[in-house]
A and B are shown apart, each in its own frame.
Chain A
């Protein structure tokens, strides 16, 4: 059973704190993605990665960075959290070469106070 695991379901952080959101998949997928989901805005792509140490900016990368040191792990970093980064963060992975299935994590609810 494929799993995409996000390490934290619910977090509350203070403005200015550094925040790490971890995502791990166990199917040797090349492609991994980080989204945030906000009401009325859908899923907006923050960053994606198609291989180890490779990363590409999505539609809203400002205020975020990512790390892909190992194939199975894709981390989203908020260097200095702000209240407008309060959101639900969703990780996803897919197999680059074949297959049509997108695997999602359960989501991480981040509140910045």
Chain B
């Protein structure tokens, strides 16, 4: 969507860390989300962060939120082949829910 932007592609070597970036425009965001979509499958919620937090860690996933710059990132540690997918960033305000175009992550051996 126009409100949420992501780079379209990321290639990473197996075992390295992946960092997927997202920028959004609405400063009144309440929650920001990361979703994963594998080929032919639906959207799978990976993690979310409340807008008053700076960081959230969940196993191999680390979310960083910079509210001043309206920048969100998802770091995947020790990237595996099963992490190959499209990753969507989403921004929620009181009434609206907008998604980015998705970042296609390719993990190479």
**Prevailing SS type, chain A contact patch:** strand
Contact A40 to B101, CB < 8 A, known contacts A96-B95, A100-B50: yes
- The B15-62 residues at the A interface (CB cut-off 8 A) are 31, 33, 42-43, 45, 48, 50
Q: Is there contact, CB below 8 Å, between B48 and A48?
A: no
Contact A45 to B42, CB < 8 A, known contacts A59-B1, A59-B2, A102-B33: no
Q: Which of A45, A56, A94 contacts B1 (CB 8 A)?
A: A45
Q: Chain B interface residue count: which class?
A: 20 to 34
Complex Cα distance, B95 from A31, in Å, reads: 7
Q: Is there contact, CB below 8 Å, between B1 and A100?
A: no
Q: Is there contact, CB below 8 Å, between B101 and A41?
A: yes
A-B contact count (CB 8 A): 58
Residues in B whose Cβ lies below 8 Å from that of A44? 1, 99
Q: Which of A40, A92, A107 contacts B97 (CB 8 A)?
A: A92
Question: Does chain B have a CB within 8 A of A50?
Answer: yes
Q: Is there contact, CB below 8 Å, between A42 and B48?
A: no
Question: Does chain B have a CB within 8 A of A106?
Answer: yes
- Encoded as 1 (CB less than 8 Å from any B CB) or 0, chain A from 50 to 64 comes to 100000101100000
Q: Is there contact, CB below 8 Å, between A94 and B97?
A: yes
Complex Cα distance, B1 from A64, in Å, reads: 17
Contact A42 to B96, CB < 8 A, known contacts A59-B2, A100-B50, A102-B33: no
Q: Is there contact, CB below 8 Å, between B99 and A43?
A: yes
Q: Is there contact, CB below 8 Å, between B95 and A40?
A: no
The 5 closest A-B pairs by CB, nearest first: A42-B101, A43-B99, A42-B102, A50-B95, A59-B1
Contact A45 to B95, CB < 8 A, known contacts A59-B2, A104-B43: no
Contact A42 to B45, CB < 8 A, known contacts A100-B31, A102-B33: no
Listed A/B pairs (23) with beta-carbon separation below 8 Å: A31-B97, A33-B97, A35-B99, A40-B101, A41-B101, A42-B1, A42-B99, A42-B101, A43-B88, A44-B99, A45-B1, A45-B98, A50-B94, A50-B95, A56-B96, A58-B96, A59-B2, A96-B94, A100-B33, A100-B92, A101-B45, A102-B45, A102-B90
